[in-house]
Amino acid sequence: MQTLKWSFRPLPFMQECRERYGDAFSVKFATFERPMVMISDPAAIKALYKERSHGLPPGREVILTPIVGPHSLLVIEGADHLAHRKLMLPPFHGERMRSYEPLVEEIVDAEIDRWPLGEEFAIHPRMQAITLEVILRVVFGVAEGERLQRLREVLTTVLEETASPFAQLTGLVSRRFGGRGPWAKFEKQLKAADELLYAEIAEHRARGGFEERDDMLSMMMAARFEDGSEMSDEDLRDQLMTLLLAGHETTATALAWTFDLLLRHAGPLARLRDSLAEGEEDYLRATISESLRLRPVVPLAGRRLSVDLETDDLHLPAGTDVTPAIWLAHTRAESYPEPFAFRPERFLDDPPDTYSWIPFGGGIRRCIGAAFAEFEMRIVLREVLTRCELHKASPAPEKIGRRNITISPRAGTPVVLTSRHPAQERELLPA
């Protein structure tokens, strides 16, 4: 019953638990052998994320390894994990990211030009198209051509196959029963994706000159571990699949939620447009923080305790599975006055706090793409709001559903585009 509630009504289920049990409680998911302790008090979250030796969250390795592979940053641990993080971080640094801006802008503008005028369409799939293209061209460094088109098709199918909350379960079940059915079909797609990825890696190697190239694959190829060795092709393939799986759906969903919130809140929308017209981005950053607070797309980012966790109120022994309930942490009245209101202003003077604002998790496993996701979101929001007049197709708030690991807008956030400026004549439309 708890698994069903979590799958289909995650936020009301969390709220019920908070009302009954307070800041900490445990949930028994059908797929995990141990109960999962959920915490939302920043002191407990700090105690959890400050300890570097805790293990992976339960289930992550079993569910993700068949897709991302055994070398993936998402599933490796200890010294291997730290060495890989060190090698993979530089492409995500601020200076580097700024060099991606023209390409991301071009991708967003091309997508906006495809939107129908005066007709209802769901914005979530349009955001997925943008974030997939950004991963393929900025992260993988694939040039326009046949391989890019094949990768778009094959990876879209792979991602769709893993989308429903049951897909991963049925995948696991069918593997256990001889690898037939949906899992076999999925494996065929994954094999096709692998062939394309290995071909891209081989082409990158043959071309060389990694130091002069901007894409993240080239940077990972140029980087060396402390012992002077480089990433193998298998390692690179697993990290590419990891960046795709971790960075595509999450960013697209965060964008869809931000549009859902903005288009239903005229005050913040008008203020955002005014600030963009003045070339100012503080309110844009605050809007993104507030959207990720109210609609954290990844609901859990847990650990298996390697040592006891102690706070004034909690004692959890080593071996316990613990995760922040991210939405509960973000809607604690003690941390955020009027916790359910959409008020970007709250982050204008006070930047988000490390342990009460955790859409990207925390500690040594904190999302490696956090700054990149926010950078991409800023460009998309800026381009769309300065070029387009968009309206919600219905005034009702979006219902919450589950896709992959995310909490996602169930109807895909239907909108109507009533006017559009050409990219080169971008100017601010009235709010």
Nearer residue to ligand HEM within complex by CB, 86 or 185: 86
**Residue 258 sits in the site that holds ligand HEM (CB under 6 A):** no
Nearer residue to ligand HEM within complex by CB, 189 or 239: 239
Q: How far apart are CA 183 and CA 173, in angstroms?
A: 9
Ordered alpha helix ranges (H), 264-321: 266-277, 282-294
Q: Which stretch binds ligand HEM (CB under 6 A): 140-148, 176-184, 249-257, 423-431?
A: 249-257
**Contact letters (x/-) for ligand HEM, 53-92, by CB under 6 A?**
--------------------xx----------x-------
Q: Please report where in the chains the tokens 């904190």 appear, as a residue.
A: 366
Q: How far apart are CA 250 and CA 404, in angstroms?
A: 9
Pick the closest to residue 206 from 221, 228, 191 (CA basis).
221
SS (H, E, C) 110-155: HHHHHCCCCCEEEHHHHHHHHHHHHHHHHHCCCCCCHHHHHHHHHH
Q: Nearest distance from residue 374's CB to ligand HEM, in Å?
A: 7
Q: Nearest distance from residue 161's CB to ligand HEM, in Å?
A: 20
Q: Which stretch binds ligand HEM (CB under 6 A): 140-148, 194-202, 241-249, 265-273?
A: 241-249
Q: Nearest distance from residue 194's CB to ligand HEM, in Å?
A: 19
**Residue 368 sits in the site that holds ligand HEM (CB under 6 A):** yes
**Residue 415 sits in the site that holds ligand HEM (CB under 6 A):** no
**Residue 24 sits in the site that holds ligand HEM (CB under 6 A):** no
- Kindly give the interhelix angle for 233-263 and 282-294, rounded to the nearest 10 degrees: 100
First to last CA, the chain: 45
**Residue 27 sits in the site that holds ligand HEM (CB under 6 A):** no
Pick the closest to residue 406 from 296, 306, 256, 305 (CA basis).
296
Coil, strand or helix: which one is 391?
A: strand
Q: Nearest distance from residue 356's CB to ligand HEM, in Å?
A: 15
Q: Which amino acid is at 182?
A: P
- Report the residue from 124, 346, 365, 392 that binds ligand HEM according to the rule CB under 6 A: 365
Token digits of residue 13:
């289920």
Nearer residue to ligand HEM within complex by CB, 222 or 371: 371
**Residue 378 sits in the site that holds ligand HEM (CB under 6 A):** no
Chain residues binding ligand HEM by CB under 6 A are: 73-74, 85, 139, 242-243, 246-247, 250-251, 254, 297-298, 301, 359-362, 365-369, 372-373
